[in-house]
Amino acid sequence: MGERRRYRKRADQFVVAVRLDLEGAGFRYRKWGGEQQCKAGDWVVDNDGEVYTVDAESFARTYRRVGPGHYVKTAPVWAERAVADGFVATKEGRSAYRIGDYLVSNQPDGGDAYCVAADRFEAMYESDE
């Protein structure tokens, strides 16, 4: 992998999100080349047309409410460019990435990971170093 660096979401980047505050076992869906799992209490996020779920604990730790249904990611992330195609294990499932995509984590040690296509990542994040 490439060199892992610290990034921050650009100030004008917000998501629309709804917490699944419902009783039940959640649901499964296919996205990013793998099966994803959503649990009761997780969040359904619309990130500029890209819709997915986020683990409840991860969302609470990394996002802040800025208006009704609108949230900004305030926590930094650590990311590196992928040097080969592969898969990353996320809290929701397994996601495929391609060479050049970004492998992103909410923790400096690489924990709470996900992947983002290079063009989307570069539009949403800026260096925080």
- Total number of domains in the chain: 1
Q: How many CA atoms lie within 13 A of 53 on its CB side?
A: 25
Per-residue pLDDT reduced to its tens digit, 81-91? 999 999 999 99
* pTM for this prediction: 0.86
Per-residue pLDDT reduced to its tens digit, 17-69? 999 998 887 899 999 999 999 999 999 999 999 999 999 999 999 999 999 99
**pLDDT confidence of residue 2:** 63
Q: Which long-range contacts (CB under 8 A, 24 or more apart) does 20-24 make?
A: 20/44, 20/53
Per-residue pLDDT reduced to its tens digit, 92-120? 999 999 999 999 999 999 999 999 999 99
Enclosing domain of residue 118: 5-127
